[in-house]
Amino acid sequence: MFCNNKPQKSMTLEKVALVLLLAVFAAQSTMAAQTLPPANQWIPQDAVISLELSQPKALLELFAGEKATAAVTALPVYQKQASTPQFKEFLNVIEFLEITLDTDWRTGLSKLTGGGITFAICPEDTLILIIDAEDEHMLEQTHEIFLNIARGEAEKQGQPNRVESTQYEDVTTWTFNGKEAHAIIGKRLVIANRPEGLKAVLELRANGASENLTSKATYQAAKRAAGPDSVATVFADLLILKNIPEIAGLLEQSSNSPLAALFFAGIVEAVRDSSWLALGLHIEDNTLLFRASVDGKTVAPTSPVAFALPSKVGDGALPNLSVPRRIAALSLYRDLHQFYAAKDDLFPERTSGLIFFENMMGIFFSGRDLTNEVLIETQPEIRLVVAEQEYDPAIGTPQIKFPAFAAIFRLRHPEQFKEVAEEAWQKAVGLINFTRGQQAMPGLIIDRPFQGKTKYTVAYFSTSGIEDKTNLDSRFNVRPALAMPGEYLILSSTDGLARDLIDALHQETEQTPKPLAGTHSLVEIEGGQLASILEANRKTLIRQNMVNKGNTQEQAESATDMLISLLKFLDRAKLGIGVHEGLTRFRLELKLNLQ
């Protein structure tokens, strides 16, 4: 019996083994067929801008996590929008998708996008979006849902043929409106705003062509600069973008304006000389960190714009000053003497504004040479501060509340220059009073109080004859002040900010601040404080919105409240610009407030 059964058993095992072997082979073949190359290899080589989000879950966790969702839904502006019919309809759609796909919206969004998102802008206004899902079945389910919705809407409008499919080799392509085109290939969804865009992607896929975006030398250099550990990267082909008339005009205009040339010197020139821009996004706790680079050549020491670049190793802009209620701060490394000495090269055409400025400076500084007797007294470190005002009830409160602002200069010979600056400042106040006097308007009164050991000068409009001091004219936002503590000169729109800066500079001097090596521009913005000044002027902003945009009061209120709410989510923004390792680099930090 045993001998008779053995051959039968052996044949059965062989058949089973053969079936298993064929099944494994088939599964491997199917997997190989569905193994997709990186999405950027399906982007055409002539793409002008590309965005590659390699870690979508990191952004989803930050912006769609429970903490962020709770913060958003607690906002009054959200609760107001949530009561509208349109928003309720949107929530119904989300609930329907959750039930149909048997998931919650966070998990579903993660599964549908978790493999990565790639977006590209190509010539002829062609847009390409590639989304890699983690769950192929859910991707197909979602497409089927929207396909049925699109068919239903097309039939309602009497255009059933606008939703159609086409076969391109082994791929089924779809359009829902006769304009866009898309296809699902394994776990990958490819969408283009034009059929030609989808065709270009499918041709790259079919041919396995090497002439895609990744073979472009500028793209490769930009990717190296962005770094391999970025959550997202952006590449921009500046050789193409600079040919766009609007961008070319903006770059040209920045050079012709003295103020723009002063603030953006070194930045505009770097962009002009660059062939690419790279940006990498990193996430650290609740902070978005953007690092951008352009490959423009470093400005030569003999260039007219060399005044904006630190001349020695270790030189750079000073840290920003911190004062109460600070809205924004700007620190620059700018050699004003060198800047004005190169004015004929920078601005060969003398504008009426430049001529007027020179004439007024000649009056204020008693005919002294502006280049070699005035600006030479300033060192390259320049700082600006903007802060919300705190009004003294005894003086009064304006109806429209402007922030205070101040410029702080570091002097080479403060003892020698103090009286020169004081004389110029008082002449400027005298000119204002003379002009207002001609129009029978009240003028400024000058006083010289102390802040600690520093004596400063302030000019102000008197409110002694005004009974209602709770709704003053906007001119009462201004109390111009001049202060010269130590080696610094402060020009402030208010004495309150001048006093705060005197204290801040005194504290800074004790700590000996170190320059930010290689950094020539540093900007910081406090989101909460900016929201506060806007909230203080809410009624005025609503009126302006209604007048300028023609909105109803309800629309204007909604837009204003939305802006204020968004700013409250921004704790702080910080942008630093400088030259490092031969590249002009930008570092932007956005710290979010999700409490």
Interval 373-393 mean pLDDT: 96
Say which amino acid occupies 13. L
| Residue 320 · residue 331 · CB < 8 Å | yes
Does 208 share its domain with 345? no
| Residue 449 · residue 489 · CB < 8 Å | no
d(CA 173, CA 190): 9
The β-bridge relationship of strands 488-492 and 481-483 is antiparallel
3-state secondary structure of 229: coil
DSSP string, 298-345: PPPTTSTTGGGS--STT-EEPPPP--TTEEEEEEEE--HHHHHHTHHH
* Burial class of residue 503 in the structure, from the number of CB atoms within 10 Å of its CB (0-12 exposed, 13-18 middle, 19+ buried): middle
CA angle 197, 201, 204 (to 5 degrees): 140
Q: Which residue has the tokens 């590209």?
A: 120
| Residue 502 · residue 408 · CB < 8 Å | no
pLDDT at 111: 96
Asked whether residue 528 is assigned to any structural domain, the reply reads no
User: Percent of the chain scored above 70 by pLDDT?
Assistant: 94
Higher-scoring residue by pLDDT: 88, 501:
501
Q: What are phi and psi of 190, to 5 degrees?
A: -115, 125
Interval 228-241 mean pLDDT: 94
Interval 201-224 mean pLDDT: 91
Domain boundary pick from 173, 190, 215: 215
Asked whether residue 169 is assigned to any structural domain, the reply reads yes
Residue 15 per-residue DSSP state: H
Query: Could you write out the three-class secondary structure of 428-485?
Result: HHHHHHHHHHHCCCCCCEEECCEECCEECEEEECCCCCCCCCCCECHHHHCCCEEECC
User: Percent of the chain scored above 90 by pLDDT?
Assistant: 71
pLDDT at 79: 84
Higher-scoring residue by pLDDT: 8, 400:
400
pLDDT at 34: 56
Q: Is a pLDDT exceeding 70 seen at residue 12?
A: no
pLDDT tens for residues 100-121? Answer: 999 999 999 999 999 999 999 9
Q: How far is CA 292 from CA 251, 262, 281, in A?
A: 18, 22, 9
Domain boundary pick from 495, 513, 531: 513
Residue 42 per-residue DSSP state: G
pLDDT tens for residues 528-576? Answer: 999 999 999 999 999 999 999 999 998 999 899 999 999 999 999 999 9
Q: How far is CA 160 from CA 147, 149, 151, 368, 464, in A?
A: 12, 12, 7, 80, 76
Q: Is a pLDDT exceeding 60 seen at residue 20?
A: no
Q: Is a pLDDT exceeding 60 seen at residue 8?
A: no
Domain containing 382 equals 320-513
pLDDT tens for residues 297-308? Answer: 777 777 888 898
What confidence tier does 581 reach under pLDDT thresholds 50, 70, 90?
A: confident
d(CA 420, CA 277): 46
Number of domains in the chain: 2
CA angle 572, 290, 316 (to 5 degrees): 75
The winner for highest mean pLDDT among 13-17, 257-261, 502-506 is 502-506
Query: Could you write out the three-class secondary structure of 80-93?
Result: HHHCCHHHHHHHHH
d(CA 321, CA 364): 28
Strand partners, 516: 317
d(CA 446, CA 143): 73
pLDDT at 314: 86
Q: Which residue has the tokens 């409106």?
A: 177
Domain boundary pick from 153, 184, 215: 215
Q: Which residue has the tokens 């920003």?
A: 320
Higher-scoring residue by pLDDT: 197, 255:
197
Asked whether residue 5 is assigned to any structural domain, the reply reads no
Q: Is a pLDDT exceeding 70 seen at residue 146?
A: yes
d(CA 47, CA 120): 6
Query: Could you write out the three-class secondary structure of 162-226?
Result: HCEEEEECCEEEEECCCCCEEEEECCEEEEECCHHHHHHHHHHHHHCCCCEHHHCHHHHHHHHHH
Asked whether residue 309 is assigned to any structural domain, the reply reads no
3-state secondary structure of 585: strand
pTM attached to this predicted model: 0.86
The β-bridge relationship of strands 316-317 and 287-294 is unpaired
Asked whether residue 579 is assigned to any structural domain, the reply reads no
Q: How far is CA 30 from CA 139, 164, 395, in A?
A: 18, 27, 80
Say how many residues make up the chain. 595
d(CA 271, CA 265): 11
pLDDT at 259: 85
pLDDT at 18: 41
What confidence tier does 214 reach under pLDDT thresholds 50, 70, 90?
A: very high
pLDDT tens for residues 474-489? Answer: 999 999 999 999 999 9
Sequence-separated (6 or more) residues with CB below 8 Å from residue 489: 408, 409, 410, 411, 414, 417, 421, 482, 483
Asked whether residue 546 is assigned to any structural domain, the reply reads no
d(CA 579, CA 545): 41
What confidence tier does 344 reach under pLDDT thresholds 50, 70, 90?
A: confident
Q: How far is CA 32 from CA 26, 36, 186, in A?
A: 10, 9, 11
Asked whether residue 429 is assigned to any structural domain, the reply reads yes
pLDDT at 22: 39
pLDDT at 11: 39
Mean pLDDT of the chain: 90
Asked whether residue 292 is assigned to any structural domain, the reply reads no
